[in-house]
A and B are shown apart, each in its own frame.
Chain A
Amino acid sequence: MRHELRPEDIEVFSEAITHFFNTCTGETANVRSAYLIEHGPAVLWNDFNGLIEISGAYTGSVCFSAPRALLSHVLLKMGESVFTDDRHADIVGEIANTLSGRARRHFGEGLSIAPPRLLNYGEQSLPNISGNLPYAIPLGWHGYEASLVVQLAPGP
């Protein structure tokens, strides 16, 4: 399997995470070094996983995976007062969408982004769309742990 993303490609997503938390919560997330998931599928272990499928000049996916408590706290910071499963599913998808959209500054409009969808419990791992190994970007915020999993390759 290939892993063709360059460090500057990954940095775009790390910067997008930092920008999102600073802008929407006023508080900085601790975005740690990205690592390649070399063995086995990209298993998601968090309560909510928002997936964006990528097409166009690139193929792959971007998935934001977070525990309920982190998302509840983000909802609170954004002024929400309702904390149902639907709202958590909505915000995890919106975060995945916002991070992917910001990456178009770097990748250009050829990075086509589908509306977000929620990975349910039946889907234990990310679909390997791109044929590339995925990268995980772990982050900490308010003591919660989450991650962004990116798999991306030039399109067909």
Chain B
Amino acid sequence: MSLHNILSMMIVDDSMIIRNRIARLVAGPTLPHINIAGLAANGEMAVELARDSRPDLITMDLTMPLLDGEACIERIIDFLPETKILVVSALADKATALRAIKKGASGFLHKPFTDEELLDSLLELID
């Protein structure tokens, strides 16, 4: 993924506080310019939004109502195989992280996270 293209990103989390925090950090000076393609509060909304906006990057919570993050990753990767998905979840066991990676996620960041940890994870994803 080239740093010279303007990337688009979708943020998926059932917490508005977390969605806002990620959006604020992405808009800051550390990362290259990234357009926020949309914010989704559950997995169903995320799949719909991903179909419409076709983002390059997604941050994805796992524990969500309607459709959980793992199922959401599988569905999105099915029609957007090039999209990089960073899982941002409180679920801290290794099996969950491995399963998310197997389903198509490109990285995993545990909550709670510092600003630096999120920015480093996103930089790794777009490098």
Contacts and interface: CB of A to CB of B under 8 A. Distances in A.
B93 A105 contact: yes
Contacts of B15: 90-91, 93-94, 97
A80 interface: yes
A100 B91 CA distance: 8
B96 interface: yes
Nearest to A95: B112
Nearest to B15: A94
B17 A101 contact: no
A109 B63 contact: no
Contact of B92 (A78, A93, A94, A104): A104
Interface SS majority for chain B: loop
Closest 9 CB pairs of A and B: A101-B90, A104-B93, A23-B112, A98-B90, A94-B15, A105-B92, A109-B95, A101-B91, A109-B93
Contacts, number: 68
A103 B93 CA distance: 8
B64 interface: yes
Interface of A: 19-20, 23-24, 75, 78-80, 86-87, 90-91, 93-94, 97-105, 107-109, 113-115
Interface of B: 14-18, 20-21, 24, 63-65, 89-93, 95-96, 110-114
A108 B65 contact: no
Given A101-B90, A104-B91, A113-B90, 15 more contacts: A19-B112, A20-B112, A78-B17, A79-B20, A87-B16, A91-B17, A97-B90, A98-B112, A101-B89, A104-B96, A107-B93, A108-B93, A109-B95, A113-B63, A114-B63
A109 B24 CA distance: 31
